[in-house]
Amino acid sequence: MKDKKTVENKKKIVLSAVIAMLGVCALVICILAASNITDISKFMKTVLIASGCIIFGVAFVTAIILDRGAGYFECQRCQYHFTPTIKAYILGMHFPTKRYLECPKCGKRSYCKHRL
């Protein structure tokens, strides 16, 4: 039986992916609608595109917060478990399961593995 925390973290990751995808879909739909509807004013097209961008931005930030909060990161050097700040999480170079972060315990920068 899986640990309750692990299941909750996996749900957060799936939810963050769904929210990000919905944000991208909303943006694409708004852009396509603005470019294909010919009988509306330029102002309305701008409003439509701007609303798609706002929806995308909110979805993107929500997905980042959920993904960052799911599980923890493990330092490669000292095996310390930590959750990075939002700034460090966003700015850290990354692969699908690792991010280049600074460990709060040893102070070294390394590719820390994302663990659930």
In the structure encoding, which two tokens stand for residue 94, read together? 């990354």
pLDDT in tens, 41-65: 889 888 988 998 898 988 888 888 8
pLDDT in tens, 65-104: 888 888 788 988 899 899 888 888 888 888 878 889 988 8
pLDDT in tens, 2-28: 677 777 877 888 888 888 888 889 889
pLDDT at 39 over 50: yes
Q: What is the pTM of this model?
A: 0.70
Residue of 30 and 10 predicted with greater confidence: 30
Per-residue model confidence (pLDDT) at position 18? 87
pLDDT at 33 over 60: yes
d(CA 86, CA 79): 21
Per-residue model confidence (pLDDT) at position 2? 62
Ranges of each domain in the chain: 1-70, 71-116
The H-or-E segment that residue 36 falls in is helix 4-36
Query: What single letter denotes the amino acid at residue 97?
Result: T
CB distance 30 to 52 below 8 Å: yes
In the structure encoding, which two tokens stand for residue 11, read together? 């749900």
pLDDT at 1 over 70: no
d(CA 76, CA 17): 26
